[in-house]
Amino acid sequence: MRYLYSLSLVLAFSLQAFSQQLVSAQFLSNVTKAQLRFLTPAADYDVDAYKIVYNTTDIDGSPTIASGALMIPVNTTCDQFPLVSYNHGTVLMREDVPSRDNGEALIPKLMASVGKVAVCPDYLGLGDNPGLHPYLHAESEATATLDLIRAAREFINDSLTITLNGEVFITGYSQGGHAAMATAKYIQDNNLGSEFNIVAAGPASGPYNLSGTQSETLLSNAPYSNPGYVCYLLFGLNRVYGDLFTTYSDILKSPYDQIIPPYFDGTYPMDSVNAQLPARLGDFMQDTVLANFANAATTKNHPLWQALIKNDNYDWAPAFPMEMYYCTQDEQVTFGNSLDADSAMKANGATMVSAVNKGSLSHGGCVFPSLDGAIALFESLETPCQFVSLTESYLKEKLQMFPNPSLDRVSINGLAEDESVSVELYDLKGRMVKSFQTVKNNDELDVSDLISGVYLVRVENNQVRAVSKFLKL
């Protein structure tokens, strides 16, 4: 089911849905394949971007809402699409998230342009969700992702003219690599494979071994490129567990205990925090905190060690193909995380995992080589696109509805002289509001009783059917 023709309309609508996960969906923007080909020559489709608001759970299991982005390939003759979950990297500003059509939203758009439906959660504490983001909290990363997938499926099934083929692929970069790994592990640990059929996962440059390789940043006191990340981790995990500190002066030296916390109100970028901090942790963190943490490196009986261990996600055995991409000059997330995961997973009996070196690149330079690797992995395993038949292609090319938009009457033309079709109109909640039988070429259809808005129009004969959009004035 696809568009009968292109509509040069800018649609801006908000859909209220009474369903298990979906709260609302709002059209954000359209980007053409010609525009996307400046970044990837493989772009085959235009892409529509939506903001999705959905029901999920907070860190304590209580109900809350969150937001995320959904990217849909459009103007395509493909029959069904797989779904890719892309988890975004570290952001501190509440509005710097995919549902606001930010810069990183370009990545799931590129994925949609090569034939995938892409979702991208904002996470708790970002976008529409209140409070401080629980940075690198594995469980909420996973639940925010899975509930977004559920909400996206509802929206697609109820309101769009595409279908999903049931295959799920998972990827993400940096914090998103950790979130992608957390999501894949959560699905397997909780026996959700029948609901989320993971065909493959490709997390990239994620801190999977927080209590091991990544904790060396805390132990070494070497200069670190993003000291604000350490504050983010401590503040976020303290929100979850509540036992890391009582006041900011418990963990931060003066004047940083006064300077830094206001930057975590959701209105500042991480660069602003980094600019206020020395590069060495020992210059802004309390000596007793670092000493106690180091002294407990063997016993792991310090609250921070326990929090890190709870959010490790490297030591398990995926039952599906997984490639973990890394670069050897990564200054933010040491590539040892990927090597640790590869070693632990194989020791646990996993047979379809590998750590993939994408070169001697920095953290920023590693993004696109890693995601190219993930897309290549996914396309080697996904079910090939099933194209529509020649008959339906002909129907789409020749059939036209006019005038569109219309106030009271529309006609169908392009049918053969002796051909007739049925025409059904649906509102954007998927409810049929009008139907016409045995419609022939240039027959006028009365739509004057419909309220103004966008409708889905299904035209069908006894062999094929096609779907488009119609604007009632």
Q: Are residues 146 and 288 in the same domain?
A: no
Instruction: Report the interhelical angle of 175-189 vs 138-159 (nearest 10°).
Output: 80
CA angle 300, 305, 311 (to 5 degrees): 125
User: Mean pLDDT: which of 384-388, 395-399, 402-406, 447-451 is highest?
Assistant: 447-451
pLDDT tens digit sequence for 41-84 = 888 889 999 999 999 999 999 999 999 999 999 877 676 899 99
pLDDT band of residue 428 (cuts 50, 70, 90) is: low
Question: What was the pLDDT predicted at 5?
Answer: 27
Domain assignment present for 2: no
The CA distance from 115 to 109, in Å, is 10
Residue 353's domain is classified under what CATH number? 3.40.50.1820
* Choice between 110 and 426, residue whose per-residue pLDDT is larger: 110
Residues 123 and 20 in one domain: yes
Query: What are the strands, taking DSSP E only, across 60-192?
Result: 63-74, 81-87, 117-121, 164-173
Domain assignment of residue 7, yes or no:
no
Same-domain status, 339 and 363: yes
Q: Is residue 206 domain-resident?
A: yes
**Domain identity same for 116 and 144:** yes
Q: In angstroms, what is the C-alpha Rg of the chain?
A: 25
Domain count, the chain: 3
Give the domain extent around 121: 14-210+312-381
Contact between residue 411 and residue 443 where contact means Cβ atoms under 8 Å apart: yes
Contact 81, 110 (CB under 8 A): no
**DSSP letter at 332?**
S
Q: Is the peptide bond before 73 cis (omega within 30 degrees of 0)?
A: no
Cα–Cα distance list, 42 to 35, 39, 46, 82, 173 (Å): 12, 9, 12, 17, 21
What percentage of the chain has pLDDT greater than the value 70?
89
Residue 274: pLDDT band with limits 50, 70, 90: very high
Q: How far apart are CA 116 and CA 199, in angstroms?
A: 13
Q: Residue 162's closest CA among 31, 43, 74?
A: 74
What integer pLDDT is reported at residue 453 of this predicted model? Answer: 84
Residue 140 and residue 51 share a domain: yes
In this structure, are 196 and 81 located in the same domain?
Answer: yes
Average of per-residue pLDDT across 157-167: 90
**Residue 215 belongs to a domain:** no
Average pLDDT, the chain: 89
Per-residue confidence (pLDDT) for residue 9, from 0 to 100: 28
**CATH number for the domain including 457?**
2.60.40.3080
Report yes or no on 36 lying in a domain. Answer: yes
Last residue of a domain, one of 309, 326, 345: 309
Q: Categorize the per-residue pLDDT at 396 as very low, low, confident or very high, splitting at 50, 70 and 90.
A: low
Q: Check whether residue 246 and residue 376 sit in a common domain.
A: no
Query: Residues 232-259: what's their mean pLDDT?
Result: 98
Find the CATH number of the domain harbouring 248: 1.10.260.160
Beta strand 421-426 pairing with 453-460: antiparallel
pLDDT band for 7, please (50, 70, 90 cuts): very low
Statement to judge: residues 277 and 397 lie in one domain: no
267 & 157 share domain: no
Residue 407 and residue 455 in one domain: yes
Task: For strands 14-16 and 421-426, give the pairing.
Answer: unpaired
pLDDT in tens, 321-340: 999 999 999 999 999 999 99
What pLDDT does residue 418 have?
72
Task: Look at residue 425 and tell me whether its pLDDT is greater than 60.
Answer: yes
Q: What is the pLDDT of residues 348-377, one digit of tens each?
A: 999 999 999 999 999 999 999 999 999 999
In a domain, 351, yes or no: yes
- Residue 29: per-residue pLDDT: 95
Considering only residues 217 and 231, tell me which one the structure prediction assigns the higher pLDDT.
231
Of 250, 276, 309, which residue sits at a domain end? 309
353, two tokens = 């995992």
The predicted pLDDT at position 439 comes to 86
d(CA 279, CA 275): 9
pTM: 0.80
DSSP characters over 26-91: EEEEEE-HHHHTTT-TT--SEEEEEEEEEEEE-TTS-EEEEEEEEEEEES--BS-EEEEEEE----
Report how far residue 84's alpha carbon sits from residue 72's, in angstroms, rounded to the nearest whole number. 11
Residue 4 lies in a domain: no
Is 1 a domain residue? no
Is residue 1 predicted with pLDDT exceeding 60? Answer: no
For residues 40 and 108, the answer to whether their CB atoms sit within 8 Å is no
262, 286, 309 — which closes off a domain? 309
At residue 251, the pLDDT reads 97
Beta strands in 303-452 (DSSP E): 322-326, 353-357, 400-402, 409-413, 421-426, 432-439, 444-446
* Burial class, 142, CB count within 10 angstroms (exposed 0-12 / middle 13-18 / buried 19+): buried
Task: Tell me, yes or no, whether 334 and 273 share the same domain.
Answer: no
Residue-wise pLDDT for 23-50, tens only, equals 999 999 999 988 998 887 888 889 999 9
Residue 42 is predicted with a pLDDT of: 83
Per-residue pLDDT, averaged over 241-269, amounts to: 98
Judgement on whether residues 77 and 138 belong to the same structural domain of the protein: yes
pLDDT (tens digit per residue) in 177-227: 999 999 999 999 999 999 999 999 999 999 999 999 999 988 988 999 999
The whole-number average pLDDT for the span 294-305 is: 96
